[in-house]
């Protein structure tokens, strides 16, 4: 281990050098505090300094203060101050300056050896801690890289806002922690239908996201036609789709159940059919600004076997919209702990009903970010809107 000596008296310096070398330390010497500081700044391996108190250019106290004022991530340097007098004031000033230990002159080799060993224990502890922090940091960085990659994959699954024939759709998606348990989709189903769903896996983070990925693929019409279409290429009734999902995705310990809305819109007529499973109600935004709510209660998916769901059906006129959201929207709280609430959501949707779809969603997003006073949501927060054109 390297020890740096700062001492202006050649006799004391020589004595220290010989004692330290006999104890097996590598010794570097400086004639004053300033020189010691320069050496220290150039050599990060130095973890030990024995410094005299009174020296030209820079004294031991200032050297110690400079060492302690270095940035937090600098390696810890153990400082012993050499002093001919050890009164209480000096000890207090020294310790306030960040000195670890004191050594009184004249120097006794046995005492010096004991003090160095005490210091070495501290440095070794520091070194172990630095190593552990470095390993944690590396692990954390790796996890972040993986999560960011997973988040990108998840975002790429989502349908880009736009049109599917007569249906325009747009959305906002805010995962709380890189990846979300929320997922949704909007797709051409059979010949004349646009299918849509939004689902929210309980919890958030990686395990919820994995199930949401799996559900996404299960519900993708191009991958598994069987789960959404019958043999004649006609959509299966939404209630039946939900009942089948419930059967396939049971979570016996109720950790990964999910809530969902699934439905479809018949493009030639505007007829909508949908079913809900424990998900916040679907809102229909009528042209005159009225907001209707569909789905007042039903069991989430994955909790109980053999659950039956109910279809709801209604007509949508040109320019009318469907709006779906995850509970993270109405439950997101401001810095007073107050939730955004369904009432606030409905008020915005009613008051801004005349605006084009993308502007309406932008206003809602702005309101939510302002409500939070930050661009971060503690739970996954998603909303999705479809307009029949």
The arrangement of strands across the sheet holding 2-6 comes to: 26-30, 2-6, 48-52, 78-83, 101-104
Q: Give the residue carrying structure tokens 């310790």.
A: 95
Tokens of 318: 């040109």
Residue 306 in the binding site for other proteins (CB under 8 A): no
> In the set 24, 106, 160, 252, which binds other proteins (CB under 8 A)?
252
Residue 331 in the binding site for other proteins (CB under 8 A): yes
Contacting range for other proteins; rule: CB under 8 A; set: 51-59, 167-175, 255-263, 355-363: 255-263
CB of 298 to other proteins, least distance (A): 6
CB of 278 to other proteins, least distance (A): 4
Residue 7 in the binding site for other proteins (CB under 8 A): no
| Residues paired with residue 80 on neighbouring β-strands, in sequence order | 50, 101
Residue 204 in the binding site for other proteins (CB under 8 A): yes
> In the set 178, 216, 257, 264, which binds other proteins (CB under 8 A)?
257
Residue 210 in the binding site for other proteins (CB under 8 A): no
Residue 206 in the binding site for other proteins (CB under 8 A): no
Q: Which residues contact 75 (CB under 8 A, 6 or more apart)?
A: 44, 47, 126, 130
Q: How far apart are CA 157 and CA 101, in angstroms?
A: 61
Tokens of 63: 């050297």
The CA–CA distances, whole Å, from 264 to 14, 175, 317 equal 90, 25, 15
CB of 372 to other proteins, least distance (A): 16
Determine contact, residues 102/91, Cβ cutoff 8 Å. Answer: yes
End-to-end CA distance of the chain: 77
Residue 174 in the binding site for other proteins (CB under 8 A): no
**Which residues in 84-113 contact other proteins (CB under 8 A)?**
none
Contacting range for other proteins; rule: CB under 8 A; set: 12-20, 38-46, 276-284, 363-371: 276-284
Residue 253 in the binding site for other proteins (CB under 8 A): yes
Residue 29 in the binding site for other proteins (CB under 8 A): no
Residue 182 in the binding site for other proteins (CB under 8 A): no
CB of 260 to other proteins, least distance (A): 12
The arrangement of strands across the sheet holding 381-388 comes to: 162-164, 167-174, 381-388, 321-325, 282-285, 291-294
Residue 298 in the binding site for other proteins (CB under 8 A): yes
Q: Which residues contact 381 (CB under 8 A, 6 or more apart)?
A: 172, 174, 176, 182, 326, 328, 329, 332, 368
Residue 254 in the binding site for other proteins (CB under 8 A): yes
Q: How many CA atoms lie within 13 A of 267 on its CB side?
A: 17
Q: How far apart are CA 271 and CA 259, in angstroms?
A: 24
Q: Give the residue carrying structure tokens 């120097």.
A: 107
- For residue 247, is it left (φ>0), alpha (ψ between -120 and 50) or beta? alpha
> In the set 23, 91, 303, 369, which binds other proteins (CB under 8 A)?
303
Q: How far apart are CA 135 and CA 272, in angstroms?
A: 55
> In the set 72, 297, 306, 375, which binds other proteins (CB under 8 A)?
297
Residue 280 in the binding site for other proteins (CB under 8 A): yes
Residue 238 in the binding site for other proteins (CB under 8 A): no
Contacting range for other proteins; rule: CB under 8 A; set: 119-127, 190-198, 230-238, 254-262: 254-262
> In the set 154, 168, 259, 353, which binds other proteins (CB under 8 A)?
259
Residue 203 in the binding site for other proteins (CB under 8 A): yes
Count of residues that bind other proteins according to CB under 8 A: 25
Residue 246 in the binding site for other proteins (CB under 8 A): no
Chain positions contacting other proteins, by CB under 8 A: 200, 202-204, 252-255, 257, 259, 278-281, 296-300, 303-304, 327, 331, 339, 379
């Amino acid at each position: 281990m390297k020890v740096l000596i700062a001492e202006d008296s050649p006799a004391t310096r020589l004595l220290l050098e010989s004692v330290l070398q006999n104890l097996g330390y590598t010794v570097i010497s400086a004639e004053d505090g300033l020189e010691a500081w320069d050496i220290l700044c150039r050599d990060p391996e130095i973890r030990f300094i024995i410094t005299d108190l009174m020296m030209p250019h820079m004294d031991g106290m200032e050297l110690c203060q400079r060492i302690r004022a270095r940035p937090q991530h600098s390696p810890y340097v153990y400082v012993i101050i050499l002093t001919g007098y050890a009164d209480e004031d000096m000890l207090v000033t020294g310790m306030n300056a960040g000195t670890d230990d004191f050594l009184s002159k004249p120097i006794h080799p046995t005492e010096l050896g004991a003090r160095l060993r005490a210091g070495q224990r501290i440095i070794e502890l520091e070194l172990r801690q630095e190593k552990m922090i470095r390993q944690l940091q590396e692990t954390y960085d790796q996890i972040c890289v993986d999560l960011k990659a997973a988040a990108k994959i998840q975002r790429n699954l989502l349908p880009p806002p736009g049109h599917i024939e007569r249906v325009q759709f747009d959305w906002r998606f805010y995962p709380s922690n890189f990846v979300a348990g929320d997922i949704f989709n909007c797709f051409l189903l059979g010949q004349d239908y646009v299918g849509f769903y939004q689902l929210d896996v309980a919890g958030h983070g990686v395990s919820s996201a994995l199930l949401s990925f799996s559900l996404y693929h299960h519900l993708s019409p191009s991958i598994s036609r069987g789960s959404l279409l019958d043999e004649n290429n006609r959509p299966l009734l939404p209630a039946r789709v939900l009942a089948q999902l419930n059967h396939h995705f049971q979570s016996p310990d109720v950790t990964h159940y999910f809530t969902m809305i699934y439905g479809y819109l018949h493009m030639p007529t505007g007829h909508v059919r949908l079913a809900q499973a424990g998900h916040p109600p679907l809102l229909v935004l009528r042209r005159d600004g009225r907001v209707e709510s569909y789905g007042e209660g039903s069991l989430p998916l994955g909790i109980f076997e053999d659950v039956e769901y109910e279809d709801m059906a209604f007509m949508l006129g040109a320019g009318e919209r469907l709006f779906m959201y995850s509970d993270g929207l109405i439950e997101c709280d401001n810095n007073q702990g107050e939730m955004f609430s369904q009432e606030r959501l409905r008020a915005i949707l009613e008051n801004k009903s005349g605006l084009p779809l993308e502007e309406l969603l932008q206003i809602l997003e702005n309101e939510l970010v302002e409500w939070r006073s930050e661009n971060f949501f503690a739970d996954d927060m998603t909303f999705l809107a479809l307009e029949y054109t």
